[in-house]
Amino acid sequence: MEAYLDNAATTPVFPEVCDLMVQVMKDDYGNPSSRHTKGIAAEKYIVNAAENIAALLKCQPSEIVFTSGGTEANNMALIGAAIANKRKGKHIITTRIEHASVHEPLAFLERQGFDVTYLPVDKNGHVDETALVDAIRDDTILISIMYVNNELGCVQNIKNLSNIVKNINSDTLFHVDAIQAYGKYKIVPKKLGIDMMSVSGHKIHGPKGSGFLYVKAKTKLVPVTFGGGQQKGMRSGTENVPAIAGLGLASKLIYEHNSENIIKLYRLKKRLIEKLTKLDKVHVNAIDKIMIEETAPHIISASFEGIRSEVLLNALAKKGIYVSSGSACSSNHPELSGTLKASGVEDRLLDSTLRFSLSIFTTEEQIDYAVDVLCEELPILRKFTIK
């Protein structure tokens, strides 16, 4: 049996999305900037994708900029907004639990002379609102806070945080990394006070190499990629039409039965957590005195005392169970997770933590199989203590 439980890293693509992308590549392969029939046919896919996404977000299609994924969207938002608004100030605020695609661009901006404040979080991964209030200054031009954390599954109260920001400094831009939230929550950026929002296609059963940045109309943002002026100059380069078409369709499909899907995901998450907490020396993270429904429906972080995460991960993989030891995008970095540290996970458990992440294709049988294998493997692996 196989149990793919690493959907926060990537998801299997909807069959309908695969079919559409093949059609685009085989038949409608024109350059969307070309003015002949083939080019116009290709351009229609881009227009349709923007319209589909805009309808879901209740925004204008012109507020959607297609990218190669969430990393590019985050870089575009952070670097583009910082440079565009640097005359107003050079202060930026973020949290200690952001994805590397936020932390690294901000580290780059710090080297360029920008001042970045990193907010603490509690043991459930929630932003300290008092610290946010204290951090906002007259020269704060940009704040970036993720909607759902990719390692812990904690969910921020974006509306409340945005209200705090705008009430103190209405000129401050509010960026949200919604890469793990899009497809799980119905997001209307304008209602939430979001100025910019990043999304990735391969987290919602769309293709890798696809994503978009929502940019609220009149938001001051300079491009970071220059060339032929595609997408109104905001992101030059010939558009990846098959990926954009796939992203547009995946967005539509993921929200078609969203309420039922979320109920299913929470049911599976509860099942997994209940079974994990019954195992000896296993700790589920970021659910201290809060209801499971207050966390994201698809991510579970658990620490296994006395076993290195890499050892346990490999043991599970040999049995056809696929999980993660953290963010897939950070797997090449040997240092322990800054997110786990920031949320107060004990030092002795930092290198013993796995992330299980579910999708609409996950089954109860897969959950049960994974736990059964854990029951078999944990006593054996604990004979080899961490040194």
If you count DSSP H runs as helices and E runs as strands, how many of each does the chain have, helices first?
Answer: 13, 12
Which residues lie below 8 Å from residue 237, measured CB to CB, with a gap of 6+? 225, 227, 228, 230
Which residues lie below 8 Å from residue 200, measured CB to CB, with a gap of 6+? 69, 70, 71, 73, 179, 182, 210, 211
**Cα 153 from Cα 284, distance rounded (Å):** 11
Q: What are phi and psi of 294, to 5 degrees?
A: -85, -5
The helix/strand/coil state of 99 is: coil
Which helix (H) or strand (E) segment is 303 a member of? strand 299-304
* Total residues found in the chain within this entry: 387
The helix/strand/coil state of 107 is: helix
**Cα 318 from Cα 296, distance rounded (Å):** 28
The helix/strand/coil state of 181 is: coil
Q: CA neighbours within 13 Å on the CB side: how many for 14?
A: 23
Torsion of CA 235, 241, 243, 248, to 10 degrees: 90
Q: Using alpha carbons, select from 105, 112, 185, 200 the residue that is nearest to residue 144.
A: 105
Active-site residues, by number, are 329
By the 8 A CB rule, do 32 and 244 touch? no
By the 8 A CB rule, do 67 and 236 touch? no
